[in-house]
Structure 1
Amino acid sequence: MTKLDLDSYKAKKDTIKHEGVVSRISEHGIVVSLKGNVNCEGCKAQSACGVSESNDKEIEIENPTESYQLNEPVDVVLNRELGLKAVFWAYVFPFILMFSVLVITSLFLKEWISGLISLAILVPYYFMLFVLKDTFKKAFQVSILKFN
């Protein structure tokens, strides 16, 4: 990205930025190890997001526009709206699905059977997410910027 693009990303409040270091480089992309982030402290989704809990998170960026060196400091930028959508698909929707199935099946079946079915419904849901992972990768594009 150009200097102007970098400044516009830094100025936006609707983006989530994490500092990281390039840990691996392959022919398809690069892997960035994320450091702790002070922006996580003010985020409303902090309790549901796994990025803020640990320093050993990695993110893969496919086909970066610039060339990067190993151990080079970089900024990983994600639109805040996409972060909230990721939390929705990973945590909120499965809870709504499980609770809805529990309520509906408890009207017709015994409670223990309803509980098992409501837990079992998560298996096809997460399998569907696994099958659609390429679609989600395209939808949740992450930008990478050289650290200045």
Structure 2
Amino acid sequence: MKALISHTIFKSYAVMSLHLSNENTFVHSGTISKIAGDSVMVSLEQNVHCESCRAKASCGISESNTKEIEILNTTDTFKINETVTVELKKTLGLKAVFWAYVFPFILMFATLILASNFLKEWLAGIVSLIILIPYYLTLYLMKNALKSVFKISIIKT
């Protein structure tokens, strides 16, 4: 889920400027590495534009040479090693950051405040950390529902 935000490299400058002009999406190019049913695994290439991007600190794509992302695809047919473009709406990226980082922090902090009224300080700290286990377990169990909410588009280039 952390690697849901992405950027782009395209074969031609005209195509690149077309996709970069849209400020509502993150775009990144990649190569199809695996196809299984309705699921397509795309290896994202490191992007030369990551250095100038304002979202690179939260993106995670700029940290290494390649990342893999799984995309649900029911419309197009793709071949392995085919070059594609991956798009993610910025609003979905913000939702992903909220559910992965912000809400767990709020949950942990609220649990700490509430538990410190009834328990010793060290025990309240442990309870506030343990509350994250069922939260992330719930997110893991809901991963199929989250995949449909955090829809990533894949486009042939």
Bin for the TM-score computed over the shorter chain: 0.7 to 0.9
Q: Which residue of 2 aligns with 1:26?
A: 36
1:43 aligns with 2:54: yes
| Contact 1:30/1:64 (8 A) holds in 2 | no
| Contact residue 98 and residue 121 of structure 1 kept, 8 A | yes
Instruction: Output the CA distance in 2 between the equivalents of 1:42 and 1:19.
Output: 15
The answer for the alignment partner of 1:97 in structure 2 is: 107
Percent identity, please: 48
Q: Which moved more, 1:11-20 or 1:82-91?
A: 11-20
Q: After TM superposition, what 4+ stretches of structure 1 lie above 4 angstroms from structure 2?
A: 7-10
Give the Cα–Cα distance (whole angstroms) in 2 for the partners of residues 77 and 99 of structure 1. 34
> Residue 125 in 1 paired to residue 135 in 2?
yes
Q: Say which structure is richer in helix.
A: 2
Letter in 1 for 2:25: T
CA distance in 1, matches of 2:78, 2:136: 34
Instruction: Evaluate the alpha carbon distance shift between residue 14 and residue 40 of structure 1 in structure 2; reply closer, same or farther with a 3 A threshold.
Output: farther
The equivalent residue for 1:87 is: 97
Q: Which residue of 2 aligns with 1:4?
A: none
Contact 2:50 2:62 (C-alpha < 8 Å) held by counterparts = no
Structure 1 runs not aligned, ≥5 long: 1-6
Given that 2:32 and 2:83 are in contact with CA atoms closer than 8 Å, whether structure 1 keeps it comes out as yes
Residues 26, 90 of structure 2: 8 Å contact kept: yes
Q: Tell me by how many angstroms 1:50 deviates.
A: 2.8
- Please, which runs of 5 or more residues in structure 2 have no aligned partner? 1-16
Residue in 2 that maps onto 1:3: none
The two structures have a TM-score, normalised by structure 1, of 0.84
User: Residue deviations 1:67-86, cap 9 Å, x none?
Assistant: 22211111100000000100
Matched pairs, number: 141
**Residues 97 and 124 (structure 1 numbering): CA distance in 2 closer, same or farther, change over 3 Å?**
same
Residues 1:61 and 1:128: Cα distance change in structure 2 (over 3 Å): same
